[in-house]
Structure 1
Amino acid sequence: MAAPRLLAICCSFLCHCFRSRKKDTDDAVLVKESNSTDSAPSLEMNSASGKIPASPLRVPPSPLRVPPSPGRFSMSPKLDRIGSVHLTMRQIARATQNFSPSLKLGEGGFGTVYKAQLQDGQMVAIKRASKEHSDTLRSEFRSEIELLAKIDHRNLVKLLGYVDKGNEHLIITEYVPSGTLREHLDGVYGSCLDFGQRLEISIDVAHGLTYLHSYAEKQIIHRDVKSSNILLTERLRAKVADFGFARLGDTESGKTHVLTKVKGTVGYLDPEYMRTYQLTPKSDVYSFGVLLVEILTGRRPVDSRRSPDEKVTIRWAFWKHNNGETEDLVDPQMKETMDVKTCNKMLDLAFQCAAPTRVDRPDMKSVAERLWAIRAKYLKRAGKE
C-alpha cells in the first residue's frame, strides 16, 4: 500500500511543477511593412489569362554555390510570445498620433501602414487592417502573422508583434527607413539608383526568397513579389515585405497547391498559376524575373500610357533583347556607361525566370548563385575587387 501511495504523491508533485501558467495578453505587438500604392494593385481573382514569349534559353546547372544565407531560421514561436514590442491600443494611438495621415507610409489591400515612434525612441511600422473589411481580412491577418513568426532573415522584414482584439487587427514590424524600391525607381528621393546598387538589391531579394523556399522551417511561397513590396534600408539593402498573400508550400519536391482563387499583382502574376490554379515556389520565380527586368529598365511591368508594343514591359524587353538592342532597355536615369555583357547576362536570367511554364524556370537558389557570379565578374571588370 505504501508504494502506490508514494507514487501518487510524486505524480501530484510533478503535475503541479509542470502545470503551465496562463499569461495575460491584454493587447499585443507591432510590425512594419511600408507598402506604397502600386499602379498594378494586389488582387485576387477566380480566373485570368496571360502569355509571355518563351525564352529560347534553358537553364544550365550552376557550378557556383550561393554565399551562406545571411540569417538562420529560428523555430516558430507561439503566437502569444511573438516579438519584442507589446502595446495596448492606447499606446499605439499615441505612437501613431492617433493614426495621423502625416505618418502614413503606404496603403495596400490589407489596410494602411503607419510609421510610429515608441516611448523608448524605437521606430516601428504598424499595419492596420481596414475596419470595413475586418472580417474578410481576418484570415489574411492570421496567415501573415503566423508566417512572419516562422522567418528570421536579414532580407525579410522582421515581425515585432501584433494586435488582434475586437475589430482591430494590427501587425507591427521593424521600420525600414528608405521607402520602397518602386519609389527609388520613380526618383521619389531625388537620386537615381546606379547599376551596382540595383544588382545588390536583386541579390538581396533573391537571398530572401531562397530562404523562404529552401531554408525556412517550412517552405513559404510569397505570392506577391513586386517592387512596392521591397523595402530599402539606409544603406539601400533590400528587405522583402508584405506576407498577406503568402502560403506554406509543400514539403515534398514537385508537389503543387491547387487553389480556388488566384492572388497577386497584375504584371507579376505567373501565367501558369493563373491558368491552372496550381501554386509552387516557381510562381515567385516568375515574379522575380519580371522584377529583375523592372530593376534594369526602371519601367513598371504594365504601363498603359505607353504604345501598344511597349505596354507590357517584359514582352517589349524580350523583343529588344532578342534583336540585340540591350542598350535601349537600360533605365535612362542611369548616367553611367553600362557593361552590355553584364546586362545581357541579367536579362538572360530574367527571361528564364519568367518562362511561361514552370519547368523551364530555375529555382531561387540557382538564381541567387547566378546573380552572385554576375556580381563577381562585374566587380572584377570594374576593378572594384
Structure 2
Amino acid sequence: MDFKLHDIETITNNFAEAQKVGSGGHGDVYRATHKGEEIAVKKLHQFQGLDDEEFDSECRNLREVRHQNIVRLIGYCYESEHTCVVDRDGGVYLEQRMERVLCFEYMHGGSLDKYIQDEACGLEWLTCYKIIKGTCAGINYLHSSKGKPIFHLNLKPGKILLDRSMTPKIADLGVSRLAASEKTEETLTDMPHGTLGFMPPEYVNSCLISKKFDVFSLGVIIIKILAGNNGYDNCSEMSPEEFIELVTENWTKRLRALMSYSFQEDILRVRTCVEIALRCVALDRNKRPTVTDIVHELEALEANITIMS
C-alpha cells in the first residue's frame, strides 16, 4: 500500500514526540492507528545517494517478504517537500527534502533486548526456546527466499520484536543486502554493516559478507538468551565443553526451582541450543552451519523428544 505523506502526518499528529516509541540509526519510529490497526511508522533520516527508484525497488522487495517471523511491511511513502530555509545572511530560499516513511505492523511485546539480563533471559524457558526457533525460521526464510538470499547484516536482540503471544519477528530489513542471484553469496564491500559484538571476524577484518554473517550474529543472540548479556564474553574465556556445562547447569537450577514437568526434555533443548550457538560463532566461517541446517537440527530434536515421550 502506498501512503500519502499527509495521511501519515495526520495519524502521527505530525510526528509528535508523544507518539515516538523509538529511534535508531536509520530513523525515528512512531505509534499510530490506521484503519483500526495499530502500526509502527518509521520516518527515515535523510540519506545521501538513495534515489527514488532505488527506494521504491527496495520497498517493493520488502513488501514481497511474507513470513510469520518477519515484521510485516504494510506500506510506504516517499514524497518531496519544499521548506523555507533562512541562510546566514538572512536570505530565504526553498529547499527540497525527500521524506521517506515505512509503515509496519506494531509489535506490542517490544524488542528482545529488554528481556535479556546480565545472567540470562528473564523469560521462562519455553518462551526463550520459542524465540530461538522462530528467529532461526525467519532468517532461514530470508536466506532462501525465492532463490535470492536476503542478508540482514544487523541482527541483534534489538532487531527481534515480539508480538502479544511472544512470537519473535525480525525487524529492520532496511539495511539488508539483496543478493543478485544464488551465485552471489560472498561480496567484498566497504559499506558499514552490523553492530560491534555481533559482526563476524571476516567482516571486521576484511569486509567480507556472506550468509555466514547472519549465522554468526544468530549465535551471539542465542548465547545472550541462554547466558545473559555477558555470555559471549564468558564463553570466549572457556572451552566449549566448559561453557556448555555452565549454561546447562544454570538452566537446570532454574527449571528445577520451577518443578517443570518437562525437565529432562527442556535440559536437552538447552544443551542443543548452546551447542548450535557455539558452532555459529566459530571464527572460521566455513565451520559455521547454515541456518537451514540449524532449523533441521531443531526439527529433528523435537521429533526425537516426541518419540522419547
**TM class by shorter-chain length?**
0.7 to 0.9
Question: What is the CA distance between 1:94 and its match in structure 2?
Answer: 2.0
| Cα distance in structure 2, aligned partners of 1:372 and 1:323 | 21
* Residue of structure 1 in register with 2:189 after alignment: 259
In structure 1, runs of 5+ residues without a counterpart are 1-82, 303-311
**Deviations along 1:160-188, whole A, 9 cap, x unmatched?**
1111112311111112221111123359x
Equivalences for 1:282-301 in 2 at 5 Å? 282-299=212-229
* Residue of structure 1 in register with 2:47 after alignment: 135
Counterpart check, 1:159 vs 2:73 = yes
Equivalences for 1:307-326 in 2 at 5 Å? 312-316=233-237, 321-322=242-243, 324-326=245-247
Question: What is the CA distance between 1:143 and its match in structure 2?
Answer: 7.0
Aligned length: 282
> Any conservation in 2 of the 1:297–1:331 contact (CA below 8 Å)?
no
User: 2:162 is matched with which residue: 214, 232, 237?
Assistant: 232
Q: How has the CA–CA distance of structure 1 residues 324 and 175 changed in structure 2, closer, same or farther, with 3 Å as cutoff?
A: closer
Structure 2 counterpart of 1:260, which letter?
A: D
> Any conservation in 1 of the 2:27–2:43 contact (CA below 8 Å)?
yes
Question: What is the CA distance between 1:326 and its match in structure 2?
Answer: 2.8
> Any conservation in 2 of the 1:297–1:330 contact (CA below 8 Å)?
no
> Any conservation in 1 of the 2:248–2:271 contact (CA below 8 Å)?
no
- Larger of the two Rg values belongs to structure: 1
> Any conservation in 2 of the 1:163–1:170 contact (CA below 8 Å)?
yes
Structure 1 counterpart of 2:78, which letter?
A: D
Superposition CA RMSD, Å: 3.0
> Any conservation in 2 of the 1:262–1:273 contact (CA below 8 Å)?
no
Question: What is the CA distance between 1:298 and its match in structure 2?
Answer: 3.0
Counterpart check, 1:106 vs 2:22 = yes
In structure 2, runs of 5+ residues without a counterpart are 81-97
* Residue of structure 1 in register with 2:107 after alignment: 176
Q: How has the CA–CA distance of structure 1 residues 177 and 300 changed in structure 2, closer, same or farther, with 3 Å as cutoff?
A: farther
**Deviations along 1:273-310, whole A, 9 cap, x unmatched?**
222222111111111011111111232677xxxxxxxx
| Cα distance in structure 1, aligned partners of 2:286 and 2:103 | 37
Question: SS state of the match for residue 40, structure 2?
Answer: strand
| Cα distance in structure 2, aligned partners of 1:150 and 1:317 | 43
Question: SS state of the match for residue 234, structure 1?
Answer: coil
Q: Which has the higher contact order (CA 8 A, sep 6+)?
A: 1
State the TM-score, normalizing by the size of structure 1. Answer: 0.65
Question: SS state of the match for residue 236, structure 2?
Answer: helix
Q: How has the CA–CA distance of structure 1 residues 300 and 255 changed in structure 2, closer, same or farther, with 3 Å as cutoff?
A: same
As a proportion of its length, which structure holds more strand?
2
> Any conservation in 1 of the 2:162–2:169 contact (CA below 8 Å)?
yes
Identity %: 27
Question: What is the CA distance between 1:368 and its match in structure 2?
Answer: 1.0
Q: How has the CA–CA distance of structure 1 residues 357 and 253 changed in structure 2, closer, same or farther, with 3 Å as cutoff?
A: farther
| Cα distance in structure 1, aligned partners of 2:42 and 2:291 | 28
> Any conservation in 2 of the 1:212–1:220 contact (CA below 8 Å)?
yes
Q: How has the CA–CA distance of structure 1 residues 255 and 94 changed in structure 2, closer, same or farther, with 3 Å as cutoff?
A: closer
Question: SS state of the match for residue 135, structure 1?
Answer: coil
| Cα distance in structure 1, aligned partners of 2:258 and 2:49 | 45
